[in-house]
């Protein structure tokens, strides 16, 4: 009895104290406490989301970084590696490169070259008529507006030689104006693409195609002018503010080129050091007569070097003309299908074509 009484009393006391406690919570206090709980939860949630986003961003950055590194290695084309260029392409600006067959990787995916596909009509206006380019050619080919301009400088030339003809951007336009074009490339696949593309432009018959290493052909071919866009080391060349002539083996090109033709017109990177090139000209006994900056749609695109093969005096000639050439490209605005799936299936077709030919 006594215990029960004590129990009942203590329960009553508890109820009284709970009631007192409940009575103390005002609506404002209730709101504030809920607000604090909500605020803290939001902060925790916010931080978690932020950490998650940072984590994803870091994964993405690491992937991009790896892709860039892969592309740096790729920047020497397989052809450069196979040819003698691998010996000479060791330095680009101040960055030392070691390009050997073992560390050359293919570009990551077709994502890397998709942007060039979007501009395909500015590469070849007859692109939709069946032009074939492999991934490397998408970023190597001379845009048509420029290859037309270059070819126009060679009007009345009998035999033009393009020792690095690639998929045919320059030779097609040259063949329209010259009697004959000799087209050389070390990569048999490029020659197959060039043959196919030349037939689309109806100039196949005017071109002699040779698979070979230009640096070993000095006794085999002769022409009136060499017109060419030598390998620049892939798209990564433009990440350097200035590159020296050794980056494109200019000395070797001039040494061999001067034995093949009395004149040369070279399409070269926009960031090439002009003074160093003039020095290379003197050292190799050629005269760089004129340099033109080529601007396409107001953006500096590349340079053209006009060269005479014999400079017997071996003295430095100041380039008496340094001109800006403005070209306007209207085709890139009209590109039609820009889906990456279309680009991938196009590349597969090109691969099939090349497998059936090579
Ligand atoms: C920049 S691309 C030429 C693109 C071409 N002007 C066009 O508009 O289509 C350079 C080409 O030189 C070729 N090449 C690289 N080293 C060579 C060598 N030693 N002899 C001949 N061709 C070479 C590559 O295979 C590549 O196709």
User: pLDDT tens-digit profile of 244-267?
Assistant: 999 999 999 999 999 999 999 999
**How open is the CA angle 156-158-163, to the nearest 5 degrees?**
115
Span from the CA of 217 to the centroid of ligand 1 (angstroms) = 14
Q: Report, as an integer, the average pLDDT of 218-225.
A: 96
Pick 151 or 235 by higher pLDDT: 151
pLDDT of amino acid 105:
37
pLDDT band at 310 (very low <50, low <70, confident <90, very high): confident
Q: How far is the C-alpha of 354 from the C-alpha of 347, rounded, in Å?
A: 10
Q: Which residue lies with its CA nearest to atom 17 of ligand 1? A: 186
Cα distances from 165 to residues 13, 117, 134, 182, 214, in angstroms, run 100, 20, 14, 9, 10
On average, the pLDDT of the chain sits at 79
Please give the distance, rounded to the nearest whole angstrom, from the Cα atom of residue 50 to the centre of ligand 1: 48
3-state secondary structure of 153: coil
Is residue 330 over pLDDT 80?
A: no
286 neighbors 251 (Cβ within 8 angstroms): no
Q: Is 76 in the pocket of ligand 1 (CB under 6 A)?
A: no
Contacts of 128 (CB under 8 A, 6+ apart): 121, 336
Burial of 53 (0-12, 13-18, 19+ CB in 10 A): exposed
From 211, 231, 232, mutation site for ligand 1 pocket: most ligand atoms within 8 A of C-beta: 231
18-28 pLDDT, tens digit each = 444 445 567 77
**Token match 């803290």: residue?**
40
Q: What is the pLDDT of residue 40?
A: 86
Q: Whose CA is nearest to atom 26 of ligand 1?
A: 166
Work out the average pLDDT over 162-176. Answer: 98
* pLDDT value, residue 17: 45
CA of 117 to the centre of ligand 1 (A): 19
Per-residue pLDDT, averaged over 33-41, amounts to 84
| pLDDT greater at residue 245 or residue 316 | 245
Q: State the Cα–Cα distance between residues 83 and 138, nearest whole angstrom.
A: 21
Atom of ligand 1 nearest to the CA of 185: 22
Q: Is the CB of 141 under 6 A from ligand 1?
A: yes
- pTM surpassing 0.75? no
What average pLDDT score do residues 313-337 get? 68
Does residue 319 have a pLDDT over 90?
Answer: no
Q: Regarding beta strands 299-308 and 287-296, do their DSSP bridges make them parallel or antiparallel, or are they unpaired?
A: antiparallel
Residue 139: predicted pLDDT:
93
266 in Cβ contact with 231 (< 8 Å): no
Return the top range by mean pLDDT from 48-52, 104-108, 160-164, 239-243: 160-164
Is residue 241 within 8 A of residue 271, CB to CB? The reply is: yes
pLDDT digits (tens, 9 = 90+) for 55-111: 777 766 555 444 433 333 222 222 222 222 222 222 222 222 222 222 233 444 567
Give the relative orientation of helices 169-177 and 144-152 as an angle to the nearest 10 degrees.
40
| Number of Cα atoms under 13 Å in the Cβ half of residue 196 | 20
The whole-number pLDDT of residue 236 equals 79
**Which of 68-72, 94-98, 124-128, 193-197 comes out lowest in average pLDDT?**
94-98
Q: Is 215 in the pocket of ligand 1 (CB under 6 A)?
A: yes
Residue of 156, 191, 198 lying closest to 173 (CA atoms): 198
Ligand 1 mean position, distance from CA 135 (Å): 14
Q: For a pLDDT cut of 70, what percent of the chain falls above it?
A: 73
Task: Give the mean pLDDT of 136-142.
Answer: 95
Q: Which atom of ligand 1 is nearest to the CA of 215?
A: 19
Q: What is the pLDDT of residue 154?
A: 92
pLDDT value of residue 95:
23
- The first and second tokens of residue 88, run together, are 């000479």
Distance CA 55, CA 53 (A): 5
Q: Is the dihedral of CA 159, 164, 167, 169 positive or negative?
A: negative
Indicate the pLDDT class of residue 31, thresholds 50, 70 and 90.
confident
DSSP 238: G
Residue 54 is predicted with a pLDDT of 81
Tell me the two tokens of residue 195.
């043959």
| Per-residue pLDDT, 89 | 22
Looking at the CA of residue 190, tell me the nearest atom of ligand 1.
27
Nearest alpha carbon, ligand 1 atom 13: 164
- Structure tokens of 207? 């071109």
Q: Identify the pLDDT of residue 153.
A: 95
The residues that bridge with 142 in the sheet, in sequence order, are none
């Amino acid at each position: 009895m006594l215990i029960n009484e004590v129990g009942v009393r203590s329960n009553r006391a508890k109820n009284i104290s709970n009631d007192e406690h409940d009575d103390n919570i005002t609506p404002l206090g209730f709101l504030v406490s809920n607000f604090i709980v909500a605020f803290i939860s939001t902060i925790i949630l916010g931080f978690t989301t932020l950490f998650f986003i940072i984590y994803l961003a870091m994964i993405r950055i690491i992937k991009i970084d790896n892709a860039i590194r892969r592309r740096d290695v790729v920047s020497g084309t397989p052809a450069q590696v196979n040819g003698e260029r691998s010996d000479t392409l060791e330095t680009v600006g101040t960055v030392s490169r070691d390009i050997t067959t073992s560390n050359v990787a293919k570009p990551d995916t077709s994502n890397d070259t998709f942007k060039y596909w979007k501009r395909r009509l500015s590469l070849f206006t007859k692109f939709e008529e069946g032009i074939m380019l492999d991934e490397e050619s998408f970023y190597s080919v001379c845009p048509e507006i420029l290859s037309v301009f270059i070819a126009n400088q060679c009007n009345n030339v009998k035999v033009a030689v393009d020792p690095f003809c690639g998929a045919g951007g320059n030779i097609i336009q040259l063949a329209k104006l010259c009697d004959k074009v000799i087209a050389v490339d070390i990569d048999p696949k490029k020659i197959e693409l060039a043959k196919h593309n030349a037939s689309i432009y109806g100039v196949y018959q005017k071109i002699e195609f040779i698979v070979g290493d230009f640096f070993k052909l000095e006794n085999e071919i002769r022409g009136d002018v060499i017109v060419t866009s030598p390998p620049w080391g892939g798209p990564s060349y433009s990440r350097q503010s200035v590159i020296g002539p050794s980056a494109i083996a200019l000395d070797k090109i001039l040494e061999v080129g001067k034995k093949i033709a009395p004149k040369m017109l070279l399409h070269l990177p926009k960031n090439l050091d002009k003074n160093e090139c003039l020095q290379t000209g003197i050292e190799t006994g050629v005269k760089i007569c004129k340099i033109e900056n080529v601007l396409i749609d107001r953006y500096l695109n590349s340079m053209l070097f006009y060269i005479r093969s014999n400079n017997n005096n071996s003295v430095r000639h100041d380039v008496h003309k340094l001109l800006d050439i403005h070209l306007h490209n209207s085709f890139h605005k009209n590109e039609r299908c820009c889906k990456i799936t279309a680009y991938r299936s196009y590349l597969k077709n090109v691969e099939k074509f090349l497998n059936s030919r090579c």
